[in-house]
Chain A
């Protein structure tokens, strides 16, 4: 199976395909348009099934929601509603934005041909280690939490009903989040590769101009050609970034929002249960959710920090020094530098906010603020409801 991009990538894309997240045929599948139709139908089917599930949970007489008091009920309903919103956005986006996704993968395969060719499995694992660690680490964390939970907490019917219906939605949002991380990781690899190549060029030019090294006739033209090629590659990477933004537009917002809401609601509920001495410790299950957002932000941040590095390496290329000066090369460097200024890579969700580490700070602040606001409600609520 000499798949393009290797077996690891192929396996995980197939996984996302099964979940209805990746609405494209993989390299090697025959009958692309048939695949595309089938993927679309599968996505819609999953969407309808999950929406039906949420509706049943919200409106049935069974004890899907927390029963003891009104407040817990509202909390659970809120979690369902936002999870449904996320699922809706995910599948609608998968169905509608196949174009951008196709563009992304097309550019990826184009550009990655200049990177390492598909080698051994171990090499692939090393290449995708960040993604693999994130994916399996988070899944493992979730599983461990559940096992511990079942061990400690006596299972009642409500608990079972709630978690068997809510957990699939949670897992779907997590996996979608990890799909974002995969795409950002691919983007990061391209950028890192570009930075590396520019660093080599810079070293080379320094060596050639250092006096000990000798430049040869046509050296300037050579460097200029290389830079031009890098400019084209950067443009390709930037188009990849744009396709990423186009392919994952609403769902970034809704997935992050639903995770955020879950954290806020559960943090608050934790305080509430402690305050009212309710014997319920399922709030521990938010720990994986707390890890999701930093994982996303870390991936996007590590992707974005490369652009200034690329600019730095670009200006390390020596266009002139004492004995030799290359006006044309300097022109090319200027051009690339201006191009970098025009094409910044800043991952955001619909322009609402840039998803870097400061976003994490803002989320922490907002969760804290809302906690304080809502904790003040507590004595007022507890009187009539408990």
Chain B
């Protein structure tokens, strides 16, 4: 197939380095040789075995890491506040769970992933037939930038933590390297998703650009037509310019011109001139319509040599619009399939992001209060490393959310450009086509979600940031309360030692009955606190 259509390069060609690294790290089980030679992802039994082995090895070493570094925790358990201890315990395995989800999902999807990229390639071919050429080279650049960023972040976190906060005189400290493995593997997996998503967004944008171009050529065509018949409609030129020439200059110079909208502006002006105002007599109005309608085919015959607009030819453009909308549908379907493939990994990533972000900030607070924190989260002891960790984690989550949102917006924009085509061509037959396709597009919108739990758009981000703040405040409050209770107990016991009188009274009360016990403690705490 690629030989017959050499112009359409498969998307996977850009994924060479990423695939190589993913294969080595054990993220994808597909066959390396076939990928290299033919750019296809195919199932491979040996790859599966290799991946299972890596998974087991990672899990083993990670447990070893937890065990060897957890000794400090066990000795600290008494001094640690219960809350900190429980949170640490709860979050110990979350990185591992995330990594496991990624790898197991990749194993499950190994056949489907190849199909997905094959579908993208077929869509590309269909786009190519509609003269929509895509440039995949920026995708390769994007992959490289993301890989470099990932390595930079991981290394800086790992090295800084290792040097600053790990006791590297012991040889067991080398195990600390394992702490970076789950996040690294997760990020690599998400680069696959992010880049594929970006590719889909580019395809939507290419469709939009093609439609915009149709509009623009038609506008030029119309202006040219009008230019020819300018002497007949001298009314148009008698109108003074309605906007400041400076602004027009600026507008052009800034290049902000969405050329479509400028053309549209000029057409809007002319369209208004063409239509007689209501106050005008009916005759002149009817006349103007007459000329407008018969002028069209006459000029088109003579204009074919100079200007050509596809929108003028309804039957031809119908096919083109139909094809573009079908490709649009197909890309939406691909997007949905892709979302399906990555739904569990994304859910686990979002859960991880939310929990780790909150926990890291909480541990940072604990560290500033010189309270002991779980040893796996020792990076929170240093504010600078914390900032790096937080920006890395949140960057991953926010970028995915942002990209999904943007892709969804790009897919929705197609409807708008379609309507522009309809309005600019202004033909009843075309209106019927546009209405039909527009309804179709309205029903076929692509929205990305994490397993259906929440949609990946910016509103989710708003909710999540609110959630993080309130949980943080609640946690800090509990922590404060616990510390103050502890201090109160200490002062109370020291009071006990010095003033025997108070102690004997409470002790006597305590001895008398359990009910009394309850009453005295509840009554005593406010006075000491």
B426 within 8 A of A: yes
Q: Is the CB of A231 within 8 A of B423?
A: yes
Q: Bound complex: CA of A109 vs CA of B250, how far in Å?
A: 14
In the complex, whether A126 has a CB less than 8 A from a CB of chain B is: no
A99 touches B254 (CB 8 A): yes
Interface centre among A217, A334, A366 (most CB of B within 10 A): A334
From A55-63, A144-152, A298-306, A335-343, the one touching the partner chain is: A335-343
Rounded to whole angstroms, the CA-CA distance of A12 and B182 in the bound complex is: 56
Contact B439 A338 (CB under 8 A): yes
- Flag whether B246 is at the interface (Cβ < 8 A): yes
Is A228 within 8 A of B435, CB to CB? no
Chain B residues with CB below 8 A from A221, complex form: 289
Which residue from A103, A106, A113, A235 sits with its C-beta under 8 Å from B420?
Answer: A235
- Give bound CA distance, A111 to B461, whole Å: 36
* Binary CB contact string for chain B from 417 to 454 against chain A (1 if under 8 A, 0 otherwise): 01110110010100110110011011000000000000
> In whole angstroms, how far apart are the Cα atoms of A334 and B433 in the complex?
12
* Contact between chains at A377 and B477 (CB < 8 Å): yes
Q: Mark B244-265, 1 if CB is under 8 A from A, else 0.
A: 1011111101111110011011
Cα A339 to Cα B470 in complex, Å, equals: 41
Query: Are B432 and A331 in touch, CB under 8 angstroms?
Result: yes
- A92 close to B (CB within 8 Å): no
CB atoms of A239 and B422 under 8 A apart: no
Whether A51 sits at the interface, judged by CB under 8 Å, is: no
Closest to B434 in A: A335
Residue of A nearest to B276 (CB): A222
* Inter-chain contact A225/B275, CB cutoff 8 Å: yes
Interface SS majority for chain A: helix
A343 cross-chain contacts in B, Cβ below 8 A: 416, 419
Q: Mark A7-44, 1 if CB is under 8 A from B, else 0.
A: 00000000000000000110111101100100000000
Which of these, A28, A226, A380, contacts B481 with CB under 8 Å? A380
Interface string of B136-164 (1 = CB under 8 A from A): 00000000000000000000000000000
Among B251, B253, B412, contact of A342 (Cβ-Cβ < 8 Å): B412
Quick check: is B171 within 8 A (CB to CB) of the other chain?
Answer: no
**Contact call B268/A373, Cβ cutoff below 8 A:** no
* CB–CB A27/B244 < 8 A: yes
Q: Which of A103, A235, A328, A376 contacts B256 (CB 8 A)?
A: A103
What CA separation (Å) do A27 and B248 show in the bound complex? 10
The interface stretch among B183-191, B278-286, B493-501 is B278-286
Give the interface SS of chain B, mostly helix, strand, loop or mixed. helix
Tell me, yes or no, whether A374 is within 8 Å of chain B by CB.
yes
Do residues A374 and B473 form an inter-chain contact, with CB atoms below 8 A? yes
A352 at the interface (CB under 8 A from B): yes
Which of the residues A4, A100, A352 comes within 8 Å of B458, measured between beta carbons?
Answer: A352
Evaluate contact between B423 and A113: CB separation under 8 angstroms. no
Footprint of A on B, CB under 8 Å? Answer: 242-244, 246-251, 253-258, 261-262, 264-265, 267-269, 271-272, 274-275, 278, 282, 285-286, 289, 405, 412, 415-416, 418-420, 422-423, 426, 428, 431-432, 434-435, 438-439, 441-442, 457-459, 461-462, 466, 469-470, 473-474, 477, 480-481, 484, 529
27 inter-chain pairs at a CB distance below 8 angstroms, sorted by A residue, are A4-B243, A4-B244, A24-B250, A27-B244, A32-B246, A103-B257, A107-B261, A109-B247, A216-B282, A217-B286, A218-B286, A232-B423, A236-B261, A334-B435, A335-B419, A335-B422, A335-B435, A335-B438, A339-B438, A341-B438, A342-B419, A343-B416, A343-B419, A351-B457, A352-B462, A370-B470, A379-B529
Chain A residues packing against B (C-beta within 8 Å): 4, 24-25, 27-30, 32-33, 36, 98-100, 102-103, 105-107, 109-111, 113-114, 204, 216-218, 221-222, 225-226, 228-229, 231-233, 235-236, 238-239, 328, 331-332, 334-335, 338-339, 341-343, 350-353, 366, 369-370, 373-374, 376-377, 379-380
